[in-house]
């Protein structure tokens, strides 16, 4: 494929408009996911704080599991966003 692109005069290191649109779409989606997860995490932590140490251990355990799950999801999405983020304004390709 790259040989065909090189022979046709297309430089594969320069992203096309379609690729730029795709990366912008995925970047925006990840940013929305991170924002949503951050808000949900803050809400769960607040609720966990309201429950206090004297709450039913089963209910408290569920909230602790939810917080841990949201933290993992947040870290995962932040890592994906960092992977998609261009090294500079003209580089929209995945970092390797």
Query: Within a domain: residue 49?
Result: yes
Q: Tokens 């569920």 belong to which residue? A: 62
Rounded Cα distance, 35 and 30, in Å: 9
Query: Within a domain: residue 57?
Result: yes
pLDDT band at 88 (very low <50, low <70, confident <90, very high): low
Query: Within a domain: residue 89?
Result: no
The region, left, alpha or beta by phi > 0 then psi within -120 to 50, assigned to residue 70 is alpha
Query: Within a domain: residue 1?
Result: no
Q: Give 21-75 pLDDT, tens digit per residue.
A: 888 899 999 999 999 999 999 999 999 999 988 889 999 999 999 999 999 999 9
Query: Within a domain: residue 74?
Result: yes
**What residue numbers bound the domain in which 59 lies?**
16-84
Q: Tokens 């355990």 belong to which residue? A: 61
Query: Within a domain: residue 93?
Result: no
Query: Within a domain: residue 8?
Result: no
Query: Within a domain: residue 69?
Result: yes
Rounded Cα distance, 91 and 96, in Å: 12
- Name the domain count of the chain: 1
């Amino acid at each position: 494929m790259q040989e065909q692109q090189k022979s046709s005069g297309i430089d594969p290191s320069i992203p096309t408009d379609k690729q730029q649109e795709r990366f912008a779409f995925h970047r925006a989606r990840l940013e929305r996911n991170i924002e949503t997860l951050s808000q949900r995490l803050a809400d769960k932590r607040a609720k966990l704080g309201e429950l206090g140490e004297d709450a039913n251990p089963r209910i408290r355990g569920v909230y602790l599991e939810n917080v841990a799950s949201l933290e993992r999801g947040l870290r995962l999405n932040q890592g994906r966003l960092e992977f998609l983020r261009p090294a500079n304004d003209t580089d929209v390709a995945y970092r390797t």
